[in-house]
Chain A
Amino acid sequence: MPELLRGLGASAGTATGPAYRLADPPRLPAPRPVTDPVAETRRAHEAVDAVCAEIGRRAAAAADPTSGEILRVQAALSGDRTLREGIAAAVRAGHEAPHAVAAVLADHRAVLLAAGGSLAARAADLDDLRDRVVAHCLGLPMPTLPEPGCPYVLIAVDLAPADAALLDPERVLAVVTSAGSFVSHTAILARARGLPTVVACGRALEIGEGTLVTVDGTAGRVSVGATGEATAAAVPPTAPAGELRGSTADGHRVALLANIGCAAELSGVAVEGVGLFRTELLFQHHLDPPTMAEQVEAYAEVFAVLGSRPVVVRTLDAGSDKPLPFLHETDEPNPALGIRGLRVARRRADILKTQIAAIAAAARGSAARVAVMAPMVTTVAEAAQFTALCRDAGLSTVGVMIEVPAAAVRAAEILQAVDFLSVGTNDLSQYTFAADRRSGELADLLDPWQPALLSLIALCAAAGEALGRPVGVCGEAAADPAFAVVLTGLGVTSLSMSPAAIPAVRAALAAHTVDECRAAAQQALAAADPATARAAVTRV
């Protein structure tokens, strides 16, 4: 019987694999008296220089700009005069090199922790520097990721930027940390790579080496002692383009699209298009605000990779669980119900206008079929306004996401104002069931098989069929092969998910006729609860 550990879901998706722990940081040896303070100071400074130079090399090699930037800032600390002077003072006070470095960084760390909030979450940045410098002084190997020789689930107290930057989705299936928060670097970088991640899982370190675990980064749960096969995170499917298209056994087309956050996520992945291009990364990890030119470049990079394939760009989805705290009031009593998604434009219309102009400019210079959609749309008026803005900018295909129940029940009216709908099942669940999507305790309510959620999706799909306009689903739920069959039966025309999940969904659709899908959908809609719905569909 697998044991269930709870934490916070920090990066959506699920994966199963053997658990391996990040090596413990080096321990400080018993202190010895300093005989030559000058030589000892030089030893400490050289250690800092060597470690920062190494971090700088990693920054240059970092695959994505997010990791690179965090590492470059860390590397630059080698020249920081407060650090150098602090170390010299600590040595003069009688600490030998590793102790001196640890003491200076510990002081600064304490201030960060005392400051609380998002600053406390960054204390790991200094811990990592300390561990590396101490290891260097002692001649110990640097703390590195485990290499068990097979893809694994990484277990750690927390990840430092330098570790997180090395996460290779081909080797690391998922991440579980005992510390950390939704805004720690572990979470930010895991999301950037689409690695299922659970943070703040208090009992994570009790998991034995090599134990098979299933990580559910959506619900924030870790099942220890899971049975079954390890699931590869991102085995790039290499099917020729002709076989990429999703369809049922009898040829009913369902587009199978990828959810991505940057161009790098498309490398080695064969997909028929992108159903959700999240643009938050560009805003989240920029040292300076992204200018129009920077945005054009980032969008054009994705469009170029896609050639003439379709891509749906979602405008900035900030607020609530997406940590861009600057865009909404910090004192919002309930951020999930506050200024988020398209609502940000109520206060900062300029951000949306610039982004739409940048998407349009990038689209003009590319062959990709570019569509744009807005997140968290609630009313017909919002949809109409967004459409007008995009059309004015020269974007011809405009849609909105259906994440709010109010929008789902008026899907037919909203669809008259736009070209397509895209249902975001994660948020639609959260708002329909009044259950925080990060609450592990309420995970049963957030089950996508809940009949009430299916009813809302059915409303949207029916609106699409009536008007002959596409209605897609781009939540994590679309990645569940059995659920994809139900969605197809409801009349959903495209499914967008993490690229790794597409082959299984394609196979499930190809195994059923469209009538079988419809029968499955009716069974699921008629079921009393999620378990009955699942069971009914399995029988079809």
Chain B
Amino acid sequence: MIRTVLLGGRAGLHLRAASRIADAAARQPAPVTVRTAQRPAAVPADSVLSLLSLGALCGTELILEAYGPGAATALESLARLLAIDPDVASA
């Protein structure tokens, strides 16, 4: 199961932003991998260092993959997190 999302964080996927995603990924019912269109190697979404090394900037297309039970839920929640800006103040 594949889902694509554009990175919403204007500051890019930096250390703290990556940490937030990795924490969420570790809590998902299915393991999720992430890759960018530029680099075909998918990395585990629950590793901060891997997420960092995607070098994803704001607007970078991220391709999420997960399989098995819970895959849809996992993709949905990670895609939602990646699409918003972690630094932005919501009301």
Additional pairs, 20, CB under 8 Å, beyond known A81-B44, A122-B14:
A69-B16, A77-B49, A80-B47, A80-B48, A80-B50, A83-B47, A108-B49, A115-B55, A119-B12, A119-B13, A119-B14, A125-B15, A284-B87, A323-B11, A326-B10, A326-B11, A326-B87, A350-B90, A350-B91, A354-B89
- The residues of B with any CB-CB pair to A shorter than 8 Å are 9-16, 19-20, 22, 43-44, 46-50, 52-58, 85-91
The answer to whether residues A70 and B16 also contact, given A77-B49, A82-B49 and a CB cut-off of 8 A, is yes
Instruction: Tell me, yes or no, whether A467 is within 8 Å of chain B by CB.
Output: no
CB-CB under 8 A from B88, the residues of chain A are 289, 326-327
- The answer to whether A326 and B12 touch across the interface, beta carbons within 8 angstroms, is no
Q: Is the CB of B16 within 8 A of A82?
A: no
Contact A119–B57 (Cβ < 8 Å): yes
Interface residues on A, range: 35 or more
Give how many A-B residue pairs fall within 8 Å (CB-CB): 100
A183 to chain B, nearest CB (A): 8
Tell me if A82 and B44 are in contact (CB < 8 A).
Answer: yes
Q: Are A289 and B90 in contact (CB under 8 A)?
A: yes
Measured in the bound complex, the distance between the Cα atoms of B90 and A486 in whole Å is 43
Cβ–Cβ contact B15 & A70, under 8 A: yes
Chain A interface, DSSP helix/strand/loop, else mixed: helix
- With the chains together, A61 CA to B85 CA distance in Å? 28
What is the 8 Å Cβ interface bit string for chain A, positions 72-88, against chain B (1 contact, 0 not)? 01101100111100100
Residue of B14, B44, B47, B52 ringed by the most chain A CB atoms within 10 A:
B52
Question: Is A353 part of the binding interface, using a Cβ–Cβ cutoff of 8 Å?
Answer: yes
**Do residues A122 and B15 form an inter-chain contact, with CB atoms below 8 A?**
yes
Cβ-closest 6 pairs across A and B: A115-B55, A350-B91, A82-B47, A326-B10, A82-B50, A73-B19
Tell whether, in the assembled complex, residue B11 and residue A287 are in contact, meaning their CB atoms are under 8 Å apart. no
Across the interface, which residues of B come within 8 angstroms of A289, CB to CB?
86-90
CA gap between A115 and B9 in the complex, in Å: 14
Contacting residues, chain A, for B44 (C-beta < 8 A): 81-82
> Which chain A residues numbered 151 to 182 have a C-beta less than 8 Å away from chain B?
none
